[in-house]
Amino acid sequence: MRVWRSIPFLIAFAVSAYSFFTPGPDLTHAVTIWDKLGHALTFAALALTGQYAGWRARTLAPSLFGYAVASEILQAVLPIQRDGDWHDVVADSAGLVGGLLVGGLTALAWSRFRPRSGVPTSTGPRRPPG
């Protein structure tokens, strides 16, 4: 695993931590589709960048799910004008699964269609030896 491949994940994690743990706006506890979409997209980004960094899904999934649960618990107990919400954990989990699926399918497609070293890429007619 190359260290530079972890940079997108670290940036995504830092942005998510900033957005989850800074004092929130007073939305009078409104549950909106935009909030849940934001949670799902955040965890999809974390899953995709984590896979790009080289972490396996069997390690990444429980780690990010733990982060989702812990962030909601911390939002509920810290004095940051935020409330923990299990609906957010559901949205986080949906984004996590979606990101893992997209990342896995992308890796599969990439491994299938990229040229391998030592394998001829030309499909034209062969010349007879001589």
Per-residue pLDDT of the chain (130 residues; tens, 9 = 90+): 578 999 999 999 999 999 999 987 665 555 688 889 999 999 999 999 999 999 999 999 999 999 999 999 999 999 888 888 899 999 999 999 999 999 999 988 988 887 666 655 555 566 666 5
In a domain, 121, yes or no: no
**Domain hosting residue 22, numbered range:** 3-113
* Tokens coding 88: 């957010």
Whole-angstrom distance, CA of residue 69 vs CA of residue 93: 10
* Tokens coding 60: 């990444």
In a domain, 51, yes or no: yes
Backbone torsion region of residue 129, taken as left when φ is above 0, otherwise alpha when ψ lies between -120 and 50, otherwise beta: beta
**Is the full-model pTM beyond 0.95?**
no
In a domain, 81, yes or no: yes
Q: Which residue has the tokens 């695993």?
A: 1
Length of the chain: 130
Q: At what angle do helices 57-77 and 86-113 cross, to 10 degrees?
A: 160
How many folded domains does the chain comprise? 1
Give the dihedral sign, CA 81/64/13/95: negative
In a domain, 93, yes or no: yes
In a domain, 129, yes or no: no
Whole-angstrom distance, CA of residue 61 vs CA of residue 48: 11
In a domain, 53, yes or no: yes
